[in-house]
Amino acid sequence: MSGSWTTQRWTEKFTEQSALFRAAVGEADPAAPVPSCPGWTFTELTLHVGRFLQTSLEYLRSGSTVQLRLPPPPTGVAPLAYLDEQLALAARVLPEVPGNRPAWTFSPAAPDLAWVWHRRIAHELDLRRWDAQAALRKLVDGDADFAVDGIEESLGTLLAAKYATDVPPDARGTVLVRLTDVPEAWVVTLAPGAVPELRTAWPGVEADLQVTGEALLVHYGLWGRLPLDAVGDQSLLSVLKLD
């Protein structure tokens, strides 16, 4: 697992973020746009989170160590009722499944263990909470420690998953990501046909692209929600962004 983060802590974050997300989408006009998700309304955002939970939780429930053929998205459902059903299921399943239980995961840089899903679910609910609150102009400040964990997931697990797609990036170079409000810093090495290498940065290290900023700004910036302060080879920046 990542540092001091445990399945219990990720589950607590899920509980916190899911409550904030549910309150935001419950307040919103279902037909209102969500600017950070171009083309989506609150209806699409709500259905996305419900579907994400339905598919992700199946790996925790089943313990499958191979990728599942999941059922098609539900049709004709009431978005909020569907969301509530999946949130209730997550609230039951997440605390019950130990982090070291085998389960297929989605990234060549991640072990096939359940904690990878606990982490992904917590951060997905945080990101979608951000989307909903930003659309309502009622954005709540996040947690820098949680943002650091999200950056590590983005640069390690999720970036590697991006390279495992049918059309992987062909970028080559190094990226230094250095946070200004906490001491963490990382170097990512990118090469065509290889899983990106992530390591802790040492003092004085140089890279083809340097990204700096506070943890929350960098975390949401990697998801394309906020601008990133990046100096150097800008072609590498598009590789880092995930959404």
Longest Cα separation, the chain: 57
Q: Could you tell me the CATH number of the domain that includes residue 112?
A: 1.20.120
Asked if residue 205 and residue 98 are part of one domain, the reply reads no
Q: Is the pLDDT of residue 2 over 80?
A: no
Domain count, the chain: 2
pLDDT in tens, 177-193: 999 999 999 999 999 98
Low-confidence winner among 2-6, 39-43, 52-56, 235-239 (lowest mean pLDDT): 2-6
Asked if residue 69 and residue 97 are part of one domain, the reply reads yes
Question: Structure tokens of 55?
Answer: 């598919």
Q: Is the pLDDT of residue 171 over 70?
A: yes
Q: Could you tell me the CATH number of the domain that includes residue 223?
A: 3.30.1050.10
Asked if residue 119 and residue 20 are part of one domain, the reply reads yes
Element (H, E) at 176: strand 173-179
Asked if residue 113 and residue 30 are part of one domain, the reply reads yes
Over range 152-173, report the average pLDDT.
92
Domain end call among 109, 136, 163:
136
Q: Is the pLDDT of residue 50 over 90?
A: yes
**Closest Cα to residue 142, out of 193, 45, 88, 217?**
217
Instruction: Give residue 125's domain range.
Output: 7-136
Predicted local confidence at residue 1, as pLDDT: 60
Predicted local confidence at residue 211, as pLDDT: 98
Over range 42-64, report the average pLDDT.
97
1 is a domain residue: no
Asked if residue 78 and residue 28 are part of one domain, the reply reads yes
205 is a domain residue: yes
Mean pLDDT of the chain: 96
- pLDDT band for position 70 (cuts 50, 70, 90): confident
Asked if residue 158 and residue 129 are part of one domain, the reply reads no
- pLDDT band for position 166 (cuts 50, 70, 90): confident
Over range 164-170, report the average pLDDT.
85
Predicted local confidence at residue 117, as pLDDT: 98
148 is a domain residue: no
Asked if residue 174 and residue 128 are part of one domain, the reply reads no
pLDDT in tens, 125-156: 999 999 999 999 999 999 999 999 999 999 99
Backbone angles phi, psi at 176, to 5 degrees: -105, 125
Asked if residue 115 and residue 49 are part of one domain, the reply reads yes
Asked if residue 18 and residue 129 are part of one domain, the reply reads yes
Domain end call among 103, 136, 169:
136
Asked if residue 226 and residue 175 are part of one domain, the reply reads yes
- If you search the block for the tokens 């598009």, which residue do you land on? 238
Question: Structure tokens of 235?
Answer: 């072609």
Count the residues in the chain.
243
2 is a domain residue: no
Q: Is the pTM of this model over 0.85?
A: yes
| More reliable by pLDDT, 166 or 144 | 144
Predicted local confidence at residue 222, as pLDDT: 98
Predicted local confidence at residue 167, as pLDDT: 83
- Report the C-alpha gap between 26 and 117 in whole angstroms: 26
Asked if residue 25 and residue 102 are part of one domain, the reply reads yes
Asked if residue 123 and residue 212 are part of one domain, the reply reads no
